[in-house]
Structure 1
Amino acid sequence: MQKVIYKRSNLSASGLIWKHKKNLSENYKILEKSYFLSNIVKNLLLKRDLFSMEISDYLNPSLRRLTPDPSILHDMEKAVNEFYKAIVKKEKIGILGDYDVDGATSSALIFNYLKELKINYLDVFIPDREKDGYGISENAVKFFSKKKTKLILCLDCGTNDINNIKKAEDLGIKVIIIDHHEQKTQNKSLALINPKKSKDKSGLDYLATVGLSFLFIIALNRSLKKNFYFNESLIEPKLKKYLDLVALGTICDLVPLKKVNRLFVKKGILELNKKKNKGIVALTEKLNIDKTIDVSDIGFYLGPCINAPGRIGDSSLGFKILSSEDESTSSELANILLKNNKERKTLEDIVCEQAKKKFLITKKNNNKIKHPNFILVHDQNWHPGIIGIIASRLTKEYNLPSIVISLKESNSKGSIRSIIGVNASDIIEFLKEKNCIINGGGHKMAGGFSLKKANLSKIKSMLESYFSRVTIKNQNFLEIDTTLDLQSINTSLIEKIKDIGPFGNNNEEPIIVLNNLKPTFIKRVGKFKNHVFCVLEDIYGKTINAIAFNHATTAIGRAILRENIINVAGKLEINKYEKKNNTQFIIEDILIL
């Protein structure tokens, strides 16, 4: 392996210092007898948190052995008992799911399972982002009341909706919640399955709602079996097939891909590729994904399409396509989702540029603050469905907590994306305490809220007060997994590296360094020419295609365009474009030599 050559200043084009990850001492014992692994894969595994698992369990985890007992979740047994009673009594059941992918997959999972049980007394309500907002709204309660619903199962929402839970229960509607958002209020629902609440000791607080929903149907299925619900005319469902939805929701909700999440995603991708879900099949066909579906296909193609109508269209369409049993309907829905996603991407690029300009102008005009520690931008023309994405992009580019607000005369919306060490959920609670916002909630890294337009100045003032007490620790390092030369890179190596996956939050794809390369055949690509493509060539004439996404105007893009000898840090992938299987390097950072 090559030794890393650093620029004299040690700073990269992104202003980072490259630092090699250290081997974890506890992994040596786990890996010492793993003779079947290549040295490169062993080297990468030494730097991973294997959670003291046997290497065979890590590389090929077993559902039977590693799936937790659902009963360890607080209120699980209570929720299952009440749900079982509703099924036996044939009471009307309602499903209320959030409008994002976690909500859509959770709702479809429960709905599809109940339909397999031949339960048809079901109603589904997916909130409209603008009309209803997040969570259990008054409109949702009215909807289920008119339907004479007796039990509502709220998915990926509801933990802090105490007022509307009470309204539902006053109308004789029982409420069961499966959620993973931070609990900030004393919940009065019949049962709350949420591993983040103080009473829960399961240790499963990293699961997305769709993972919790899967554990719920495991527990419900056991209860039904125990009570002899299944017979010759109603065969017990095979639950493993629903892991395709679990994988989809888990990946798109950006929860840590560790332990049970990693297990569900690894097995779920196998189910996804069996192509049983008609809606997913229709989407993959429209997206021209004609090879094995992997995490990147879910994260970059399937997920955004399913999410798009919840942002700028009919929020129920994500659920509808995932629960569709008809090929023709699935195809029609897939066309709408692709159209919505195309509109979303165009809108996002335009608004992101506007948001950046607003931030830079504010920064320039405010002489008191040379180094701001948060970003606040707003506009009355921004669609509320994309402000979360805009906040994410601003946070990624400037490494600062970002608050983006869509201002309307009524029902203005805000979205927060944060960084390590600054809790987005705490910011929202602070704004609530100061009576700046109407409501809101979220996680450590992300959240959303609604506000009155008249309170904008107060929000700005309170945020300045809040962040004056916060120290932002900028991330100065890019952690490197290993260094390779071009001679050692091929599709076989990339497939072996994939065995360490699936990759995502908390199980990041290995960052690899390639040294002493010259960029050639450089060109800007993409609809807005915002990406930079090049061919990287070493001193022996060996080459690899490379691309730097969204870096045409950044220091990274400028470094490539200058055609200097460089070291690059990034990720290896197999490019499936136009049915070809070529190795490709995704450039994350550059050192100019």
Structure 2
Amino acid sequence: MSAAPESALPRILRRAAVSVPRLPDDLHPVVRRVYATRGVHSAQDCDYGLQRLLPPDGLLGLDTAADVVAKAIADGRRICIAGDYDCDGATSTALLVRGLRALGAAQVDHVIPDRFTMGYGLSEALVDAARARGAELLITVDSGIANVSGVAYAQACGLQVVITDHHLPGEVLPQADAIVNPNQPGDCFPSKAMAGVGVAFYLLAALRARIGRDRLAIADLLDLVALGTVADVVPLDHNNRVLVAQGLARIRAGRACAGISALLEVAGRDAATADAATLGFVVGPRLNAAGRLENMGQGVECLLSDNPAQARSIAATLDQLNRARRDIETDMVEGADAARLIPDAVGLCLYDPSWHEGVVGLVASRAKQQAHRPVIAFAPSNDAGWVKGSARSIPGLHIRDAIAAADRAEPGLIDRFGGHAMAAGLSLRESALQAFAEAFDAACRRLLSDADLQASIDSDGALAPAELTLETARALEAAGPWGQGFPEPVFDGAFRVAEARIVGECHARYTLAPSEDPQRRLVAIDFGGAERMATPGQAVETAYQLGVNRWRGEEQVQLILRHLAVR
């Protein structure tokens, strides 16, 4: 296919209306409509009670893993959790350390790879770090499924290895003592979308049954599961929505661990109104900042702390790191256009030798949103002559498959790669960058259609003037958690601008009058929209989310604009 022009304005596509009579009668009518278009077809589908969690039947390797870990606990062996340097890895690590200690493990420690010196996953260096701590049983979280040599090295050193992971496996599986991964061959667990922290939670549940501590409330650890699940941007299928909803309920009730409470506090957010977006855009980035700029060990220590003062101190450091990360990201994003290896590519590869390795994933995300193209952003690695890339995709392209296709077309360019449908990582020699960029672009041209390259916003339709109320906004908020694969509702409508002003330097705040009710006035905010601000008197087409604006104890309905175009 030929390269389609990059579109400045997205199309608004309305979801098809669906009537589902089996949904509860007491649901708000707008929530009923929204649920129906997202595959929620019964009362059970919108029930997020713990009893609705999928049973572990079919989760291949879970019984064996539970037996191995239970025996290690009974024998008093030293257990070490091998984590990862992102939010999913940090929450998974903290979850298992807390959970295993609660289940009676006398000696539980953890190691986190350094992004810049060890790289991702179970490397020999990470194994050596675990051995230095006296590890006898190594449990990986959010990694391990692709670390064939790392597992073999650990076992050659006398360690047992249990893998818990959710990433897609390669052609060869590690010869671990047990593997728990819903995406491994032969696994029959219905949910393939769990994050690493969800897999770790299922292992804890199985362990509790083995050890016979049925009254142990491992559900109190669901705040960690919710944070890791949302931050890893995995699809929120029903099982994941249960995990997130239950974790959020504990956070709102003031029952979060000291670390999550502290991260909310330094961000100036009220735990009582936390939602999935709060976890994904407020808490997660502050935790991730440690792994991006320094070492995720600080993040794990924050989540493991039971001392509120200590947790606040670590959270303040993480907040400062996040501010520094934002500054670095801003500078990198400003140079993204000049960093294109092939200017008119369908599959974009970006590289600048001055870029920071820990922030390229965020640059790829920004570039993907702006160009509506799959993007891989590269930065020099700690090893001279090598680069590391972070990939982000658009709907219609499985990014790991596209990288694999480029690898098949030009064997030997990539050193290693792995990831999901929407995000992946890889490393290669700097000298191979241009050839890889050409192979990746060719793969994307084969796999994407012109329609895939046209940005669009899926809308749940128009809201009648009588539905533009605080009651509707509250009902939609309560109907979550919303997220990847279960998107927060977006509506479209025509308005006339009554007032417009810039707030906070780069945001546009409006007072809008609905075309169908010109005497009505609604507040709207367009984050980052100062440069495209409409002026009073203009008619505009919009796509928006209906939110609740809380300020000094008062609540007001507010339109959060996702798209605005002057008619």
- Corresponding residue pairs, total: 550
**Cα drift, residue 410 of structure 1:** 4.6
Q: Which amino acid aligns with 2:435?
A: K
1:69, distance to aligned residue in structure 2 (A)? 2.0
2:538 pairs with 1:571: no
Whole-angstrom CA distance in 2 between matches of 1:70 and 1:451: 38
> Which AA in structure 1 matches 2:347?
F
| CA distance in 1: counterparts of 2:378 and 2:552, whole angstroms | 39
Whether 2:378 is the aligned partner of 1:405: answer yes
* CA 1:410–1:318: 2 relative to 1, 3 Å: farther
Name the counterpart of 1:178.
Answer: 164
CA distance in structure 1 between the partners assigned to 2:307 and 2:262 by the alignment: 10
2: CA distance between counterparts of 1:575 and 1:193?
42
Tell me the CA shift for residue 578 of structure 1: 5.5
Q: CA deviation at 1:315?
A: 1.6
1:350 is displaced (CA, Å) by 1.5
- 5 Å-filtered alignment, 1:153-192, equals 153-187=139-173, 188-192=175-179
Amino acid at match of 1:391: A
2:282 to 296, 301, 316: 301
Alignment partners' CA distance in 2, 1:284 and 1:329: 15
Task: State the alpha-carbon separation in 2 of the partners of residues 19 and 518 from structure 1.
Answer: 23
Aligned partner of 2:267 in structure 1 is 287
Please list the CA deviations of residues 267-288 of structure 1 after superposition, one character each: whole Å capped at 9, or x if unmatched: 1110112333111111222222
What amino acid is the match of 2:368? T
Matched-pair contact (CA < 8 Å) for 2:139–2:162: yes
1:353 and 2:334 aligned: yes
2:307 is the alignment partner of 1:332: no
Q: Distance in 2 between matches of 1:134 and 1:89?
A: 31
Alignment of 1:243-322 (within 5 A): 243-276=222-255, 277-290=257-270, 291-322=272-303
Quick check: 1:124 aligned with 2:87?
Answer: no
Residues 494 and 410 (structure 1), Cα distance of their counterparts in 2 relative to 1, 3 Å cut: same
| Aligned equivalent of 2:201, options 214, 218, 235 | 214
Partner Cα separation in structure 2 for residue 561 and residue 40 of structure 1: 31
Tell me the secondary structure at the aligned position of residue 190 of structure 2. coil
Alignment of 1:168-567 (within 5 A): 168-187=154-173, 188-225=175-212, 236-276=215-255, 277-290=257-270, 291-359=272-340, 363=343, 369=344, 372-408=345-381, 409-430=384-405, 434-472=411-449, 473-475=452-454, 477-486=456-465, 488-518=467-497, 520-523=499-502, 525-526=503-504, 529-538=505-514, 540-553=518-531, 557=532, 560-561=534-535, 564-567=538-541
Structure 2: which 5+ runs fail to align? 1-6
Q: What is the DSSP-based 3-state SS (H/G/I as helix, E as strand, rest coil) of the residue aligned with 2:447? A: coil
- Give the whole-Å Cα distance in 2 for the aligned partners of 1:45 and 1:463: 37
What are the residue-to-residue correspondences of 1:82-161 with 2, within 5 Å? 82-161=68-147
TM-score (norm 2): 0.92
Aligned 8 A contact 2:500 2:535 in 1: no
Per the TM alignment, residue 340 of structure 1 is displaced from its structure 2 partner at its CA by 0.7
Distance of 2:550 and 2:323 partners within structure 1 = 21
Deviations along 1:111-150, one digit per CA (max 9) or x if unpaired, are 1112223423122111111111110112111112223311
| Identity score, percent | 27
Contact persistence 1:14–1:589 (CA under 8 A): no
Uncovered stretches (5+) of structure 1, i.e. residues with no partner: 1-12, 364-368
CA RMSD between the two structures? 2.2
Instruction: Give the Cα separation in 1 of the matches to 2:386 and 2:114.
Output: 13
For residues 116 and 410 of structure 1, the distance between their equivalents in structure 2, rounded to whole angstroms, comes to: 46
Contact residue 154 and residue 161 of structure 2 kept, 8 A: yes
What secondary structure sits across from 1:264 in the alignment?
helix
Paired position in structure 2 for 1:586: 560
CA distance in 2, matches of 1:461, 1:294: 41
What is the CA–CA distance in structure 1 between the aligned matches of 2:131 and 2:157, rounded to whole Å?
7
Deviation string for 1:271-306 (max 9, x for gaps)?
112333111111222222134211121111111111
Q: Using the alignment, how far apart are the partners of 2:9 and 2:49 within structure 1?
A: 42
The C-alpha deviation readout for 1:154-186, integer Å capped at 9, x for no partner, is: 000111110111011111111111111111132
Deviation, 1:419, is: 1.7
Q: Within 2, Cα distance between the matches of 1:432 and 1:167?
A: 26
Partner letter of residue 515 of structure 1?
A
Compared with structure 1, are the counterparts of its residues 59 and 457 closer, same or farther at alpha carbon in structure 2 (3 Å cutoff)?
Answer: closer
1:313-344 deviation digits (Å, cap 9, x = unpaired) = 22212211111111221011011110011111
Instruction: Flag the 1:513–1:220 CA change in 2: closer, same or farther, 3 A.
Output: same
Kindly indicate whether the alpha-carbon contact (under 8 Å) linking 1:486 and 1:514 is maintained by their aligned counterparts in 2: no
Cα distance, 1:436 vs structure 2: 1.5
Structure 2 Cα separation of the partners of residues 464 and 566 of structure 1: 37
Provide, for residues 169-217 of structure 1, a one-character-per-residue CA deviation record: whole Å limited to 9, x for no partner.
1111111111111111321111111111121111221111111111111
Q: SS of 1:70's equivalent?
A: coil
Distance 1:138 1:519, change over 3 A: farther
- What is the letter of the counterpart of residue 196 of structure 2? T
Q: What is the rounded CA distance, in whole Å, between the counterparts of 1:152 and 1:59 in structure 2?
A: 38
Contact 1:487–1:542 (8 Å) recurs in 2: no
